């Protein structure tokens, strides 16, 4: 049975850069306050009304296709991970498909938020291993900026997020020892309301009301300390699970890329695992939290910078809303 390899990767972020100082026009904050708590220095936001998540995904996909010397017509299916779809329905995958100028292939949207890319990787890996599809486009794309809570009470959450997209083209490899070694997915719905968006929602009637709008229930709500507490436990656990499943050790890891939610979380994860800074790649400083896009953006940068090379052992891990968490071991 073949393994799944990353044929190519690509990413795209909007041109508009928002520094921490830029955010002081809306919130009582400062560059020092944001850096100290999150590590973020800037993020990219779309021009409102001019770019959607599927537009960012299109540019990321084009770069991945160019890197693979492939045409979009060679793709067999699309897996599109996002928490910020262009519209309530249909999903973003069909809009990306249309913009790529292809038709007929399936487009699957998944809503696993911060863990979306690894959840999607697990699905793609199963399809490729069984021979159902040979060329899978896996995308994580987010536009957070058009849904920010610009009220004072929205500061702590809103300063975290940026817009961007990352794409990977996946396919089978018979190269023994290479490719996706394993993926590991977890969830605990007891904590669903610790990081969520309550309205508008079919669980409510009406789905959204003036009261909901006044209360800000249509914005993301997070109990930051609770998220932090679980993230710094669950991500190291998931990394160890992946290593144990493949009879590997932390000494074998060439590079760890974790979901970019907060630099302080990732620094603590690295310390708990005993990995040096050189073996943990972070770029949240420049992009903020782009949710499902953080991992493919970081993977692409690591490849471009020569930090991830053929034969390297790459560990991916993520934690987020749900709570969900996940990991993957990849022999690049």
Structure token pair of residue 52: 């959607």
Q: What secondary structure does DSSP assign to 40-81, as a single string? A: --EEE-PPTTT--HHHHHHHHHHHHHHHHT--GGG--EEEEE
Of 185, 141, 138, 193, nearest to 162 by C-alpha is 141
Q: Report whether 322 contacts 112 (CB < 8 A).
A: yes
Reduced to 3 states (helix: H, G, I; strand: E, B; else coil), residue 257 is: strand
Of 257, 299, 303, nearest to 280 by C-alpha is 257
Residues designated catalytic: 114, 259, 289
Helix, strand, coil tally for the chain in percent (to 5): 40, 25, 35
Distance in angstroms (rounded) separating the CA atoms of residues 193 and 178:
39
Distance in angstroms (rounded) separating the CA atoms of residues 231 and 172:
32
CA distances from 172 to 1, 24, 121 (A): 9, 48, 13
Q: Report whether 4 contacts 173 (CB < 8 A).
A: yes
Give the number of other CB atoms < 10 A from CB of residue 209. Answer: 14
List the alpha helices (DSSP H) in 131-250: 155-158, 210-215, 224-245
Burial letters 88-100, b for 16+ CB under 10 A, else e: eeebbbbbbbebb
Of 314, 270, 260, nearest to 115 by C-alpha is 260
Reduced to 3 states (helix: H, G, I; strand: E, B; else coil), residue 92 is: helix
């Amino acid at each position: 049975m073949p393994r799944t390899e990353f044929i190519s990767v690509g990413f795209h972020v909007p041109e508009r850069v928002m520094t921490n100082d830029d955010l002081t026009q809306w919130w009582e904050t400062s560059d020092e306050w944001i850096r100290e708590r999150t590590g973020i220095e800037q993020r990219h936001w779309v021009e409102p009304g001019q770019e959607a998540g599927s537009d960012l995904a299109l540019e990321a996909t084009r770069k991945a296709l160019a890197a693979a010397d492939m045409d979009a017509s060679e793709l067999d299916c699309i897996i599109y991970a996002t928490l910020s779809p262009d519209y309530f329905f249909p999903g973003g995958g069909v809009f990306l498909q249309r913009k790529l100028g292809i038709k007929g292939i399936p487009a699957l949207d998944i809503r696993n938020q911060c863990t979306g890319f690894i959840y999607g990787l697990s699905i793609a890996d199963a399809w490729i291993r069984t021979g159902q599809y040979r060329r899978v486009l896996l995308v994580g794309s987010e536009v957070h900026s058009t849904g920010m809570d610009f009220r004072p009470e929205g500061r702590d959450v809103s300063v975290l997020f940026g817009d961007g997209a990352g794409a990977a083209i996946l396919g089978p490899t018979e190269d023994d020892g290479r490719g996706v070694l394993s993926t590991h997915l977890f969830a605990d719905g007891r904590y669903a309301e610790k990081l969520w968006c309550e309205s508008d929602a079919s669980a409510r009637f009406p789905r959204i009301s003036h009261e909901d709008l006044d209360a800000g229930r249509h914005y993301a709500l997070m109990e930051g300390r609770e998220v932090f507490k679980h993230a710094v436990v669950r991500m190291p656990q998931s990394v160890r699970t992946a290593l144990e499943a493949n009879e590997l050790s932390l000494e074998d890891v060439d590079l760890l890329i974790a979901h970019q939610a907060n630099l302080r979380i990732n620094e603590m994860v690295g310390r708990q695992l005993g990995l040096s800074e050189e073996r943990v790649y972070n770029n949240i400083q420049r992009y903020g939290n782009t949710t499902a896009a953080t991992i493919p953006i970081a993977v692409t940068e690591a490849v471009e910078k020569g930090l991830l090379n053929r034969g390297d052992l790459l560990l991916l891990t993520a934690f987020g809303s749900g709570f969900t968490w996940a990991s993957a071991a990849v022999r690049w």
